Structure 1
Amino acid sequence: MFKSMVVGLLTAVSLSATATPSWIDAKSAIQAMQQGELTSEQLVRYYLDRIEQHNQQGHNLAAVMDINPQAIQQAQLRDQERASHNSHSALHGLPVILKANISTATMPTTAGALALKNHITGRNAALVDQLEQAGAIILGTANLSEWANFRGTGSASGWSALGGQARNPHLLTHTPCGSSSGSAVAVAADLALLAVGTETDGSIMCPAAINGVVGIKPTRGAVAGEGIIPIASAQDIAGPMARHVFDAALLLDAMLSDEARKQLPVALTKATEQAPELSKVILVRAYDEQDEAIGPMMDGIAEFLLQQGIAVVSVDEWQLPAELYQDELKVLMYEYRRELDQWLQDYGVDDSVNSVAKVVAFNQAKGEEALAFFGQEYLEQAANLDLELENEDYQRALANGRQLAMNALDQYLKELEADAIILPSYGPAWPIDHINGDVFNFGTSTAAAVAGYPSITLPGGFSGVLPLGVSLVGLPWSEPTLIGLAALMEKELKAYQQPTFLSQDKE
């Protein structure tokens, strides 16, 4: 069905001989459309062709789940509006891929789960309405770690029952990380210009870093969560993923909530065009020995920042208290049960699977077809919670965990008055393993995720053929500062590389 839909959409018109959207960036696409050298329809057809070639055929990336049947029609409308000088925003006519846990009116919203197969809500999530009002074209939905990687232990990132196993385009045997796996792979492999991911803890930062692209996890509340299949509203947030900092900032501009627009009244893309005013940054060196490429990468960053006149304070330890992780899991489990039950009911899911408990029973009845190579321990634990009995413990964990996370960051951002904390995002990708599941080396997303502080990851270097990301963390609503710093570092590091789709490591 997927293949026939893409082929059908491609048959009517081929790309103009003068249009060259291959690996194009958003700024160039905007300029080309303004000058009449490229149309939105050509751009959409280009990506549909790329998806046809590489998503299930060719490299079997399994990044894209469903194609919007109205994508070309929407592109034609955007072209007509542009010709009439009626562009909605700078995003006008650019195609966007959405993670498949974000509700859309015309495509299945499934979180990759068999229990939600073919479920169409009939309405958009709030952020999707915003993107369409800004003139974006919703191209399709992206594969993900099933249930945003909160189904059970032993999972392999990027796998879902409906989408299969997404693959890292730099080395196809290795993980794309997750849970926003397909979103990251799609932009990394040029199956999409822009993508939206969601994060609870690391689900934007890890796949963006490991696939060698830019990801932004905004300040808590900066993007409306209405319509997104939840894990926990205490930490869930959507954010942009793209190959370049400007592109990610452009997409985030269109996604901002009303509260965020009060806090961030100037377009975030402006921050990419001027040098940020920075006096001091914290550089975390605690992971230098985790991979032979990390120390030199951080050395280069330190040297560059010093050349810019920015004071660099190096930190040799980065250790969060064990209690923080324990509190985080309690909060996620409690809110997962409460909020997923509510979403399943509010968004018209069939009565047979419209609660966590019913999803558990459905999966048990379907057996391997639904559960494949790992279990559903998180769903089971959530289903068995007594929300009334557990409420007091949840409230304590929510307050305590958040305070611990804020303390870990505020000792640098407030007490030392640093403009940002810079640290490696994650280690390099590991082999996909459907027997043992993921084998994370290290990750640094938790403090910002639990505190609700903004963070950005951008390409920082390579470990062999595998990308390494570098993260920037700041105080709430410091997105302009972080984006400005990320743009500055992007120009210096020049660490983005097109993937070569290796089937095995050259080394």
Structure 2
Amino acid sequence: MRHVLLGLCLLLAAAGCSETVPGGEPKADFNPAWLSAGAAQQALASGELSSEQLVTYYLQQIAANNNAGYRLAAISDINPDALAQARLLDEERRQGQLRSALHGLPVVLKANIASLDSMPTTAGALALQGHLTPADAELVSQLRLAGAIILAKTNLSEWANFRGEKSASGWSALGGQVRNPHLLSHTPCGSSSGSAVAVAADLALLAVGTETDGSIMCPAAINGIVGIKPTRGAVSGKGIIPIAEAQDIAGPMARTVYGAALLLDALLTPAAQQHFSTPLSQAAAQASAAKKVLLVRAYDKQDAALVPMLDKLAAELSAQGIEVVSTDKWQLPAELYQAELKVLVYEFKRDLERWLTEYQAPEAASTLEHIVAYNRVQGERALAFYGQEYLEQAAAIDLAADYAGYQQALTSSRQLAEAALDQYLREQGFDAIILPSYGPAWPIDHVNGDAFNFGTSTAAAVAGYPSITLPAGYSSILPLGVSLVGLPWSEPELLALASLLEQQLAAYQRPGFVTELTD
């Protein structure tokens, strides 16, 4: 077994895995605050830091600022076994048994991801309160094998923001309202709001989010961190409370491109790994081979900070010898959004009820009809602030009678999304499309719901193409991100380009935990 583990370390040497393990005790005065994943790897390898110390630090951070302090409400449940897991992995490290480059690093999971432990899997819904699943989601099993420590679960937009209309991102009946650490009165976006805020606010080193359309990209961008939505099928969805198999996928969130790539390496399915010749964390450290990119300037008038931000981005890429072609045209057809919604509602009925059966949901949540009825009985306790229109629409679906219309919508939505991207990526040979990810965060409003300025996640989400968002600038104190979109399985190339932009733009800033803006 030892020679296999050491072989893994040799393969992953560039990602921070070390064959030699120092003796002695970690330094008592090592400060783990605001560590990047790469710095944490180095500190663990050198013996300056232990996994137990790292987990202890994050547990203290959560205690100080999740339900107290800044009251971020990012964490829904803490794993009581996290410290024991850390001690075990520290001992393995001392014995020279490193499972992967992720060995001993803590990770938080969105609360719609099943885990075989004492943390419930709820999607933030009252009907699933306290629900313990009989198995790990497949990605959680992979993380455990890779030596990651499952630290906690994160709050989210209830039912991954597919409960009802006029919702406020980051709110759930069980977890309350997640708050943006840059400006606490403003939205964290969603639905992976808790995952993004946990990383942005230094309550966690790494996080797993999930996306159907924008649920990784928006919270990552709006909270000023890196998020990756991988190619469709790159990460197993088995065990994740679904909206729709056609678009659902899990992905990593981190404070750096390297950290996100490191976590994505552990999330990939064996089949997906065959698409890449080296670990993605190594690809993130390589020079970008991009020759020509499309820069979308269609949103320049939406916020005053966008023009100088994108001008700087274009100048930095040009200085690196990359041709930047700008366009002020980016408009997806209305039919795409209509077809997408039809697909999501149909598959929500099909896929959610399959999950509820397989993962042994309680009687009150055994079917969509039961959930709708339960919420009505509970009243405001379950349905505070907004309704359950999407739950009701999905409950009314007849899977057999509505199948033909669903298939037509699925085909149409994918064709339209792929056409929007392929005209540039395939026909004109651009290595990537770069777009501003989302507008800046807006005030949390439980009466009127979200007030999106703009968002650009839909084409990649529906087509199943990979996308990465990373910090690029600020509107006042609110982060702005840029998204890189490429062809399926182009993650290595996108990561190298994202790393280049990360270095050249140097836009990441720690949040200021500001209560309100003053003139």
**Shorter-chain TM-score range:** over 0.9
SS in 1 for 2:434: strand
SS in 1 for 2:66: helix
Q: Deviations over 1:235-273 (max 9, x none)?
A: 000000000000000000000012211112310011122
Report the equivalent of 1:35: 46
Report the equivalent of 2:56: 45
Distance, in Å, in 1 between the alignment partners of 2:485 and 2:158 is: 27
1:310 to 322, 330, 344: 322
Distance, in Å, in 2 between the alignment partners of 1:265 and 1:233 is: 27
Structure 1 residue 337, shift from structure 2 partner? 0.4
Report the equivalent of 1:122: 134
Q: Deviations over 1:168-213 (max 9, x none)?
A: 0000000000000000000000000000000000000000000000
Instruction: State yes or no: 1:111 paired with 2:110.
Output: no
SS in 1 for 2:300: coil
Report the equivalent of 2:85: 74
1:149-188 alignment runs, 5 A limit: 149-188=161-200
Does the CA-based 8 Å contact 2:27-2:48 persist in structure 1? no
Distance, in Å, in 1 between the alignment partners of 2:213 and 2:170 is: 15
Does the CA-based 8 Å contact 1:286-1:315 persist in structure 2? yes
Structure 1 residue 122, shift from structure 2 partner? 2.7
Report the equivalent of 2:451: 439
Distance, in Å, in 2 between the alignment partners of 1:397 and 1:264 is: 32
2:66 to 46, 55, 76: 55
Report the equivalent of 1:354: 366
Distance, in Å, in 2 between the alignment partners of 1:126 and 1:440 is: 33
User: 2:421 corresponds to which letter in structure 1?
Assistant: L
Instruction: State yes or no: 1:19 paired with 2:30.
Output: yes
Distance, in Å, in 2 between the alignment partners of 1:80 and 1:231 is: 40
Report the equivalent of 1:380: 392
Distance, in Å, in 1 between the alignment partners of 2:363 and 2:375 is: 15
Q: Deviations over 1:44-89 (max 9, x none)?
A: 0000000000001000000000001110000000000000000101
Instruction: Give the stretch that moved more between structures: 258-267 or 421-430.
Output: 258-267
Q: Deviations over 1:268-290 (max 9, x none)?
A: 01112221111110000001110
Structure 1 residue 352, shift from structure 2 partner? 2.8
Instruction: State yes or no: 1:95 paired with 2:85.
Output: no
Distance, in Å, in 2 between the alignment partners of 1:242 and 1:36 is: 23
Instruction: State yes or no: 1:463 paired with 2:475.
Output: yes
Output the aligned Cα RMSD: 0.8
Structure 1 residue 16, shift from structure 2 partner? 5.5
1:275-290 alignment runs, 5 A limit: 275-290=287-302
Report the equivalent of 2:94: 83
Tell me, which stretches of 5 or more residues in structure 2 are unaligned?
A: 1-25
Report the equivalent of 1:10: none
User: 1:280 corresponds to which letter in structure 2?
Assistant: K
User: 1:172 corresponds to which letter in structure 2?
Assistant: L
Distance, in Å, in 2 between the alignment partners of 1:257 and 1:430 is: 36
Structure 1 residue 333, shift from structure 2 partner? 0.3
User: 1:75 corresponds to which letter in structure 2?
Assistant: A
Distance, in Å, in 2 between the alignment partners of 1:311 and 1:361 is: 57
SS in 1 for 2:284: helix
SS in 2 for 1:238: strand
Q: Deviations over 1:269-313 (max 9, x none)?
A: 111222111111000000111000001111011111111111111
Q: Which runs of 4+ in 1 moved over 4 A?
A: none
SS in 1 for 2:153: strand
User: 2:191 corresponds to which letter in structure 1?
Assistant: S
Does the CA-based 8 Å contact 1:19-1:42 persist in structure 2? no
Report the equivalent of 1:6: none
2:226 to 214, 239, 263: 214
Distance, in Å, in 2 between the alignment partners of 1:84 and 1:101 is: 35
Structure 1 residue 506, shift from structure 2 partner? 3.3
Distance, in Å, in 2 between the alignment partners of 1:478 and 1:228 is: 25
Report the equivalent of 2:421: 409
TM (norm. structure 2) is 0.94
2:332 to 316, 320, 333: 320
Distance, in Å, in 2 between the alignment partners of 1:236 and 1:209 is: 19
Identity percentage of aligned residues? 66
Tell me, which stretches of 5 or more residues in structure 1 are unaligned?
A: 1-14
